[in-house]
């Protein structure tokens, strides 16, 4: 029984470096994805405002709401990835 626990601890210590790397990569991918999505929202809002200037207020409101949703989801995924690194 002690031998099995020792072997399990050794394997867990060996894999902890991979878990940390995977968490860091996951957090990076989530951040890059959020930045890409918010950039596309901004581009589409600018194009829409150029086509219909009278709807700029509604477009801006929808853009900010959608960007906030994307930011919230990306923040959640970054926290989950960083928790995988810590634990």
* Whether the Cβ atoms of residue 74 and residue 30 lie closer than 8 Å to each other: yes
Domain residue limits at 61: 2-86
Structure tokens at 40: 């596309």
Of 65, 61, 36, give the one whose Cα is nearest residue 49: 61
Q: Once rounded to an integer, what is the mean pLDDT over residues 3-10? A: 62
Looking at the predicted structure, is the pLDDT value of residue 5 above 80? no
Task: Tell if the pTM clears 0.75, that is, is over it.
Answer: no
Q: Based on the structure, what is the number of domains in the chain? A: 1
> What confidence score (pLDDT) does residue 83 get?
86
Which pLDDT tens digit goes with each residue over 9-58?
A: 666 566 677 888 888 898 899 999 999 999 999 999 999 999 999 999 99
29 CB-side CA count, 13 A: 9
CA distance 63 to 22: 32
Look up the CATH number of the domain holding residue 65.
1.20.20.10
């Amino acid at each position: 029984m002690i031998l099995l626990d020792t072997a399990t601890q050794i394997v867990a210590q060996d894999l902890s470096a991979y878990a940390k790397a995977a968490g860091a990569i996951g957090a990076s991918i989530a951040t890059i994805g959020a930045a890409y999505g918010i950039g596309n929202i901004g581009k589409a809002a600018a194009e829409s405002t150029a086509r219909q200037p009278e709807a700029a207020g509604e477009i801006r409101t929808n853009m900010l709401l959608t960007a906030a949703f994307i930011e919230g989801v990306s923040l959640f995924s970054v926290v989950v990835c960083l928790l995988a690194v810590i634990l």
